[in-house]
Chain A
Amino acid sequence: MVDTFYIAWKYIRYNRVKSAILVSCITIIAVLPLTLEVLLNESERQLTLRAESSPLLIGAKGSALDLVMNSLYFTDEIPEPITMAAAGEVMDSGLAGAIPLYIRFSARTFPIVGTTLDYFEYRNLAPNSGELFTTLGQCVIGAEVAKTLKLASGDYIVSSPETLFDLAGVYPLKMKISGVLTPSRSADDRAVFVDIHTAWVIDGLGHGHTDVTTTTDNSVILKKEAQNVTANAKLMHYSEITEDNIDSFHLHGDPEGFPLTAVLAVPYDDKSGTILRGRYLEADTLYQAVRPAEVIDGLMATIFRIRTVLDAVIGVVGGSTLLALVLVFSLSLRLREQEIDIVYKLGCSRATISRLLGAEIVLILLAGAIGAGAFLLVVSHYDQQLVRTLLL
């Protein structure tokens, strides 16, 4: 038997190009459906876990899917804004706690999540190094952000302008990293967290500058009246919040009217959650309350319908490839007729020749299986990152 495999191995080595093509075909046929299976299972796990741990989301009326995807997975689709008053309403209801979310900006392609310290407590996120933010202008970064950008506590990260050519827009804010979060195997690993007030500063709703009512630099003053001072464009706004200038930072207007993308409502019990949700079913309300688990269930149902179609396509392609492989083998036998005849004349029985050909097929299938297994191991190892990068 060993001799048979030895001769088969020698044959495969001699015809290495043909053998490599056959092995690749077998690997691809095995890898495609299995990789899809691994990635879909992981995406289902990630989507469902996060959705189930987020009982209720309050947002503007519109696409529930955009609201959930932006609030839970920090995707680019930004839902219509609501105001901070919505968070106040939830708190005033006495039915749930409110965690405001403002997810609109980014820093070096990673989403900036404006929220309160309650978010970390609720999601069981703790810093691996450093600490959570204490003052305006600080941020906490996810483990993957730190790894990708090679950043650590004490470093700085700058918010990205919304549009590259918006010269009259809001200045980017240089933020000090107060801490790096412990990896959580979720979208939180790929986010930059700031206090909600800092997010409003990034939005241009708050800023810091020299006190124009007391400044002695008249070149920044356009007009000075008893009750109003008008400054000109020379008045410099601070692009970084430091201990020295933090006192000059202020918000323009009532924070109750400032924007949020969603409110994560955490009902005190099931009954409170149902009552709260009922309040947002009224026609005259500007908000919608969605259960992320229901939205994600709908999304998963769609994904599984697509998966069924994909499985069928892969099945057809796989079947065709197998047929092609059979054809390759049978054509190969035809081409090797003379060679087989010589082996027979040398005294090999028909059975020995069959065993030789069988051993070649087994070795090729084995190589294909090993290739597929190795590929799947790599996919399984990086499945979380792959799902977050490719799907979420």
Chain B
Amino acid sequence: MRFIVPIVLLIAGFSTMAHGETALNVYAVNYPLAYFAERIGTPHVAVTFPAPPDTDPAFWSPDQDTIRQYQQADLILLNGAGYAKWTQKVSLPMLRTVDTSRRFRDTLINIEDSVTHSHGPEGDHSHGDIAFTTWLDFSQAAQQAEEILVAFIKKRPQHKEVFTQNYEALAQDLMDLDEQMLEVGKRLDGIALFASHPIYHYLARRYLLNLEMVTWEPDVSPSDAQWHHLTELHRDHPAKWMIWEGEPLASSARRLEEMNITGLVFSPCFSTPTSGDFITVMKENIAHLEGIL
């Protein structure tokens, strides 16, 4: 599949060029947006998501050449909500940039527990306080996709019909996921859960999950302090399941089992998945959650 998508895009590009029109050059800051753009824009757009597959694009910083490529793109798709801090430290053309979460910016979640600091008349402030995994609420993901649709139509009005049809198919897939997750959330009925990383705020809000989030990495063994913190939390929040963003280390999983906590993976799909696509990964995630029931 990873090889098929570029080939399809290449053919699409040639087909578009055959009609004397270059494909819309679109750059995205994460995989979900790149996926939405590809689904909506095929065959009239060429989507690039340049972050290496093994990095978290939220904390990735592009080199100067990549920044120049973003600057020259016809459209730059931002996630908004403070995602990809590097976008605030580089110069991007505002007229060619789309903040896909701008429509629901008033309902973005402020993270209360980030450490603030003060050192002058400005008062307290912190450097990262908005939850940014907006697409894990699939209704929000559909709105982000709609923003992309609007931007594409503005840039290439002659392909409005194709874009709209593609968007409707994508929106249907996302709303199906939303319905499934609403059902899962209902059936979970407030069962206590842990999450290994503070990235599931929108998932928890939309689908009424009773989540307590810690800050663990799946590929790093938690420190004694982190285990102690979890034990403390477990007293008031007797969760039997912990949601991980990736497969945890065997040692971490074993020690959790000793605490009667089972791990399950719910991938946020930041980067291009090794197999499948956004929709299939999310379906797997939902299946993992259904395993609790």
Residues of A bordering B, CB below 8 Å: 87-88, 91-92, 97-100, 116-118, 121, 131-136, 138, 195, 197, 209, 212-213, 226-233, 235, 246-247, 249-253, 255, 266
Q: What's the Cα separation between A88 and B106 when bound, in Å?
A: 14
Least CB distance from A222 to B in Å reads 8
Query: Which B residues touch A195, using CB under 8 A?
Result: 91
Q: Give the contacting residue for A232; candidates B91, B92, B119; CB below 8 A.
A: B119
The answer on a CB contact under 8 Å between B125 and A253 is: yes
Query: Which B residues touch A100, using CB under 8 A?
Result: 94
Query: What total of A-B pairs shows CB separation below 8 Å?
Result: 88
Query: Which A residues touch B88, using CB under 8 A?
Result: 197, 251, 255
Write the B94-115 contact mask toward A (1 if CB under 8 angstroms, else 0): 1110000010000000000101
The answer on a CB contact under 8 Å between A117 and B93 is: yes
**Within residues 143 to 162 of chain B, which ones have a CB less than 8 A from any CB in chain A?**
none
The 10 tightest CB contacts between A and B, nearest first, are A231-B119, A229-B117, A195-B91, A117-B93, A116-B94, A97-B95, A118-B95, A212-B117, A136-B89, A228-B116
Residues of B bordering A, CB below 8 Å: 61, 64, 67-68, 71, 88-96, 102, 113, 115-119, 122, 124-125, 127
Q: Known: A134-B67, A197-B89, A252-B125. Is A235-B119 also a contact (CB below 8 A)? A: yes
Least CB distance from A140 to B in Å reads 10
Q: Give the contacting residue for B127; candidates A92, A118, A250; CB below 8 A.
A: A250
Least CB distance from B234 to A in Å reads 21
Q: What's the Cα separation between A235 and B102 when bound, in Å?
A: 35
Query: Which A residues touch B68, using CB under 8 A?
Result: 131, 134
Q: Give the contacting residue for B71; candidates A98, A134, A231, A266; CB below 8 A.
A: A134
Q: Give the contacting residue for A246; candidates B89, B91, B113; CB below 8 A.
A: B89
The answer on a CB contact under 8 Å between A133 and B122 is: no
The answer on a CB contact under 8 Å between A247 and B95 is: no
Least CB distance from B104 to A in Å reads 13
Query: Which B residues touch A133, using CB under 8 A?
Result: 91
The answer on a CB contact under 8 Å between B122 and A252 is: yes
Q: Give the contacting residue for A116; candidates B93, B113, B118; CB below 8 A.
A: B93
The answer on a CB contact under 8 Å between A121 and B91 is: no
Q: What's the Cα separation between A235 and B120 when bound, in Å?
A: 10
Least CB distance from A122 to B in Å reads 8
A-B contact pairs, 17 of them (CB 8 A): A97-B95, A98-B94, A99-B95, A116-B91, A117-B94, A118-B96, A132-B91, A133-B91, A134-B67, A135-B89, A135-B91, A195-B91, A197-B89, A228-B115, A230-B118, A251-B88, A255-B88
Looking at B90, B91, B93, B118, the one whose CB has the most chain A CB atoms below 10 A away is: B91
Q: What's the Cα separation between A237 and B19 when bound, in Å?
A: 55
B71 and chain A: residue at smallest CB distance: A117
Query: Which B residues touch A88, using CB under 8 A?
Result: 102
Query: Which A residues touch B127, using CB under 8 A?
Result: 250
The answer on a CB contact under 8 Å between B119 and A117 is: no
Q: What's the Cα separation between A213 and B126 when bound, in Å?
A: 10
Q: Known: A134-B64, A136-B89, A246-B89. Is A118-B94 also a contact (CB below 8 A)? A: yes
Q: What's the Cα separation between A255 and B85 when bound, in Å?
A: 13
The answer on a CB contact under 8 Å between B119 and A212 is: yes
Q: Known: A117-B71, A136-B89. Is A231-B118 also a contact (CB below 8 A)? A: yes
Least CB distance from A326 to B in Å reads 65
Q: What's the Cα separation between A228 and B125 when bound, in Å?
A: 9
Other 6 A-B pairs with CB < 8 A, given A133-B91, A228-B124, A230-B118: A116-B94, A121-B95, A227-B115, A228-B115, A229-B118, A249-B89
Least CB distance from A202 to B in Å reads 15
The answer on a CB contact under 8 Å between B71 and A118 is: no
Q: What's the Cα separation between A132 and B90 when bound, in Å?
A: 11
The answer on a CB contact under 8 Å between A213 and B117 is: yes
Q: What's the Cα separation between A70 and B24 when bound, in Å?
A: 36
Query: Which B residues touch A136, using CB under 8 A?
Result: 89-91
The answer on a CB contact under 8 Å between B89 and A121 is: no
B103 and chain A: residue at smallest CB distance: A92
Least CB distance from B150 to A in Å reads 8
Q: What's the Cα separation between A197 and B89 when bound, in Å?
A: 8
Q: Give the contacting residue for B91; candidates A117, A229, A251, A252; CB below 8 A.
A: A117
Query: Which A residues touch B89, using CB under 8 A?
Result: 135-136, 197, 246-247, 249
A137 and chain B: residue at smallest CB distance: B89
The answer on a CB contact under 8 Å between A227 and B113 is: yes
Query: Which B residues touch A97, using CB under 8 A?
Result: 94-95
Q: What's the Cα separation between A228 and B267 when bound, in Å?
A: 32
Q: What's the Cα separation between A163 and B122 when bound, in Å?
A: 20
A266 and chain B: residue at smallest CB distance: B95
B123 and chain A: residue at smallest CB distance: A252
